[in-house]
Amino acid sequence: MAGDRPRRIVVGIGNPERGDDAAGRAVAQLLRGMLPVNIPLNTREESWEITEHDGEAAALLSLLDGASEAFLVDACRSGSPCGTVRRIDVAQVAAAPLPRGVFGVSTHDFGLAEAIELGRALGQLPSRCVVYAIEGGSFEAGAPLSAAVAAAVAAVAGRLHAELARK
Amino acid sequence: MVGKTIKVDLLARIEGESAFKVVVRDGVVRSAELRIFEPPRFFEAFLRGRAFTEVADITARICGLCPAAYQMSAVHAMENALGLTVTGPLRDLRRLLYCGEWIESHILHIYMLHAPDFLGYAGGIEMARDHSEIVRRGLALKKVGNEIMTLLGGREIHPINVRVGGFYRVPRRRELEPLRERLKWARDAARETVRWAAGFDFPERERDYTFVALRHGSEYPFNEGRIVSNRGLDIAVPEYDEHFEEMQVERSTALHSRLSGGGSYLVGPLARYSLNFERLSPIAQEAAREAGLGRTCTNPYRSIVVRAVEVLYACDEALRIIDVYEEPGRPSIPIEPCAGVGFGATEAPRGLLYHRYRIESDGTIAEARIVPPTSQNQASIEEDLASFVGGFLDLPDDDLRHRCEQTVRNYDPCISCATHFLRLETDRG
């Protein structure tokens, strides 16, 4: 599953039909459009797997299994102004636990924070593991991204693009 | 007067939002209430006016844990209304889909939600720090369930490949092959799970439940059977409404179910197992005996062992189905709408799930009625609390509260499904 080469993965998390909750997916989609042009993806050694995910913890953890590097992007609701971006290096030994209850959660409240903390408890987090959290404003069914989150999505895609290019 | 109130305002490690309150006076439990305050979701109302063909996709959204159960009860009810019986490989594939859902749902509950109660952890993540190999086994087992769901349902959650009459696409034999080795590992891991769970320390508490579950002539029930109890009930699915009733209680946004003219009853793993032990495969029966379970089980705390036996059965049954699978000539049986009323009951991981639909001649849904397992179990959960808490009153408040929470989690309640549900509140005076 992990193959011979280390897997490197970008995961955009969210529900595409719930307003700003789609922010993580929107970043993944944007990044997919940016990468082939600007990053040498043609050789497998350089490739990044860019994927979208609903955020269910067990499946998310399974997705990270065997990855050496992972960037995860998800919308959050922490009380900050809509569109606020936070970059959290969760693989750091000194990293505080990812706050639970601020990311979109799935059934049984098992979402991104639980996947990361479970991965940490099991010692199976990728050695480089970064979460980008985008503060959402509206999570209404069927709503588009709010303007502030759309702008943050573009900004995070740009930052990630620069991070992925860095060795 | 000496008394106390055990109160939990938001129950953790269950699906959905609920609370409970137990009032104790002079060492006697006066009341036990389960409160469900998750807002109602109106699925039955917005199914009206939709096409009968949409029922599997709409009802799949009721639950992220047991979507296939909703799909199965829905399509069987529609097929009942339209006079269609699905047989052969298509029927087998439906059982296989159910195997995937039982594995996925039961394993999540056993490993991440319920085992921490027995081993003294706040949750699955805390337990994983000390029991990483065991939790890894649980996650790997769940993944096998997910793989079955993905292959047959199109994706892990809220499958999109189920339709009235069959499936949109059926797998080729070669697509099922890779599952075989995975399932052989899972069957061994499930057997280890039974042994592991059987080693927990169980409170010796029993209740004389009225068990209700499906019973089929030869199979451990998923999709088909008569509705039976251990008190002589033996009815066809369409007779459900004559024998069961739902009532509104002020403390809950979920309706309470009762036997008509009778009291509470229990659906789910304990009921299913106790009414169908002899229909389990030999390996599952053997594991149950080895785990110290009799042919029936009336200790709700041991439900975690029964769930593990059911996971073992599901792995075994999935292997059997894959062995005999012949690709059907077509993925579904064509079906034309006609006016009618249809009834369906299948065994969701949490228990009996009943659907009834009335459809118009053009296939438009005129009426829908959905009775989920957690609704049916609410009264029994309250009675367990009322019966058992008295025996735990010498515990310190925190331990008492924990014991109450564990008692509710015995049921693996699915509040979101039931609303039309948990916080503990104990009043000792």
- Say yes or no to pLDDT of A133 above 90: yes
DSSP B10-34: S-SSSBS-EEEEEEEETTEEEEEEE
pLDDT band at residue B420 using 50, 70 and 90 as cut-offs: very low
**CB–CB of A110/A58 below 8 Å?**
yes
pLDDT (average), residues B259-277: 94
Distance of CA A73 to the CA centre of its chain: 2
For residue B330, the tally of other CB atoms under 10 A from its CB is 12
pLDDT (average), residues B55-62: 90
DSSP B217-257: SSSPPSS--EEEETTS-EE-GGGHHHHEEEE--TTBSSPEE
| Confidence (pLDDT) at B428 | 60
B66 at interface of A, judged by CB pairs closer than 8 A? no
Residue ranges per domain, chain B? 3-428
pLDDT (average), residues B351-359: 97
**CB–CB of B61/B41 below 8 Å?**
no
- Say yes or no to pLDDT of A45 above 50: no
Q: Note the residue count of chain B.
A: 429
CA–CA distance from A3 to each of A45, A125, B143, B408 (Å)?
Answer: 12, 17, 18, 43
Contacts of B68 (CB under 8 A, 6+ apart): B60, B97, B98, B100, B101, B149, B153, B159, B162
Identify the residue whose tokens are 């169908």.
B276
Pairing of strands A67-76, A128-135: parallel
Q: What is the CATH code for B3-428?
A: 1.10.645.10
Cα separation of B96 and B322, whole Å?
Answer: 8
Task: Give the bridge partners for B166, in sequence order.
Answer: B163, B332
- Say yes or no to pLDDT of B73 above 60: yes
Residue with the larger pLDDT of the pair A66 and B305: B305
pLDDT band at residue A5 using 50, 70 and 90 as cut-offs: low
- Say yes or no to pLDDT of A130 above 70: yes
For residue B250, the tally of other CB atoms under 10 A from its CB is 6
B128 at interface of A, judged by CB pairs closer than 8 A? yes
Cα separation of A120 and A125, whole Å?
Answer: 6
Residue B91 burial class via C-beta count within 10 angstroms: exposed 0-12, middle 13-18, buried 19 and up = middle
Residue with the larger pLDDT of the pair A131 and A78: A131
Cα separation of A58 and A114, whole Å?
Answer: 9
Mark out the alpha helices in B277-396 (DSSP H runs).
Answer: 282-290, 303-324, 373-388
- Say yes or no to pLDDT of B18 above 80: no
Task: Give the bridge partners for B226, in sequence order.
Answer: B215
Q: If we measure between CA atoms, which residue out of A14, A81, A57, A96 comes closest to residue B113?
A: A57
Residue type, A4: D
In chain A, the residue whose alpha carbon lies closest to the alpha carbon of B417 is A107
In chain B, the residue whose alpha carbon lies closest to the alpha carbon of A106 is B64
| Confidence (pLDDT) at A107 | 45
- Say yes or no to pLDDT of A39 above 60: no
Cα separation of B160 and B173, whole Å?
Answer: 20
A3 at interface of B, judged by CB pairs closer than 8 A? no
Task: Give the bridge partners for B229, in sequence order.
Answer: B212
- How many Å lie between the alpha carbon of A104 and the closest alpha carbon of chain B? 14
Pairing of strands B18-25, B425-428: parallel
| Confidence (pLDDT) at B424 | 44
pLDDT (average), residues A5-27: 90
Cα separation of B51 and B264, whole Å?
Answer: 35
In chain A, the residue whose alpha carbon lies closest to the alpha carbon of B15 is A108
* B65 contacts in chain A (CB < 8 Å): 107-108
Residue type, B128: A
Cα separation of B197 and B199, whole Å?
Answer: 5
| ipTM above 0.90 for this complex | no
Residue ranges per domain, chain A? 7-165
Across the interface, whether the CB atoms of A110 and B156 are under 8 A apart is answered no
Residue type, B156: E
A56 at interface of B, judged by CB pairs closer than 8 A? yes
Residue B141 burial class via C-beta count within 10 angstroms: exposed 0-12, middle 13-18, buried 19 and up = buried
* B62 contacts in chain A (CB < 8 Å): none
Domain A7-165 classification at class level: alpha beta
pLDDT band at residue B240 using 50, 70 and 90 as cut-offs: very high
A94 at interface of B, judged by CB pairs closer than 8 A? no
Cα separation of B165 and B167, whole Å?
Answer: 7
- Say yes or no to pLDDT of A85 above 70: yes
Residue with the larger pLDDT of the pair B350 and B21: B350
Residue B65, SS3 per DSSP: coil
A163 at interface of B, judged by CB pairs closer than 8 A? no
Across the interface, whether the CB atoms of A108 and B125 are under 8 A apart is answered no
Across the interface, whether the CB atoms of B128 and A110 are under 8 A apart is answered no
DSSP B121: -
Q: If we measure between CA atoms, which residue out of B53, B67, B140 comes closest to residue B102?
A: B67
Across the interface, whether the CB atoms of A123 and B125 are under 8 A apart is answered no
- How many Å lie between the alpha carbon of B129 and the closest alpha carbon of chain A? 5
Cα separation of B73 and B111, whole Å?
Answer: 27
| Confidence (pLDDT) at B75 | 98
Among A140-149, B40-49, B254-263, name the most confident range. A140-149
**CB–CB of B3/B427 below 8 Å?**
yes
With a CB-CB cutoff of 8 Å, which residues 366-395 of chain B face chain A?
none
For residue B326, the tally of other CB atoms under 10 A from its CB is 9
A142 at interface of B, judged by CB pairs closer than 8 A? no
Instruction: Compute the count of residue pairs across chains A and B with CB atoms less than 8 Å apart.
Output: 51
Residue B427, SS3 per DSSP: strand
B65 at interface of A, judged by CB pairs closer than 8 A? yes
